[in-house]
Copies of this chain bind each other. A is one copy, B any other.
Amino acid sequence: MKLYDCETAPSPRRVRIFLAEKGLTIPTLQVDLLNGEQFTPAFRALNPACTVPVLELDDGVTITDILSICRYFEELYPDPPLMGQSAKERAVIGSWLSRIEWDGFNGAMDAFRNSAPGLRKRALPGLESYEQIPELAQRGRARVQHFFAWIDARLADSEFICGPKFTIADISGMVAIDFVGRAKLKPPEHMVHLYRWHAAVSARPSSKS
């Protein structure tokens, strides 16, 4: 199998950290997003959505969704478990992941892509060109503040996002927090629980992936 990656992008970083936590090394190709390699016919044949990460299996089947790539590795290599060890644990972790996606990643994406000068007409990833919408950048910033608030409140009661164990939700949460920095946003300093957790997860060797 082969992983199509881009070292500077937040989405594939979630997979890279996941693999590092599993102790797995997968043959990896870098896709030059800055120079538009994701729009070439060769890459579009792999993933019409023109995004990374993509996992290409040996039979040519491609997996283009971040969480599906992680779940595939979790099923093949269950130890250490990062996505839950029972149907209930998996469902609870999935619910937290969905909340992180909702106002963490979506808010950060809206804030960043609708304001970065280098992303004019590129307000969404993919082949289609979409103009930036300044009100959407503003709404994204508001959503990110909401994300900071609930994650801080959650971490007041819990060592990690899903409880006493490190899970994929911590990987997603950390990458989301780091990603919002690109939109020049950071959690308010009084959010001590968020900062305690962020320092702990960032200190894991996997976070350098």
Interface residues of A (CB under 8 A from B): 48-49, 55, 57, 61-65, 67-69, 71-72, 75-76, 87-88, 90-92, 94-95, 97-99, 102, 123-124, 128, 130-131, 133, 135-136, 139, 142-143, 146, 150
Contacts and interface: CB of A to CB of B under 8 A. Distances in A.
Residue from the set A65, A71, A102, A130 with the largest chain B CB neighbour count within 10 Å: A65
A72 B90 contact: yes
Interface class of chain A by DSSP: helix
Given A130-B139, A135-B135, A75 B87 contact: yes
Given A99-B49, A128-B146, A92 B61 contact: yes
A209 to B, nearest CB: 21
A131 B139 CA distance: 9
A95 B65 contact: yes
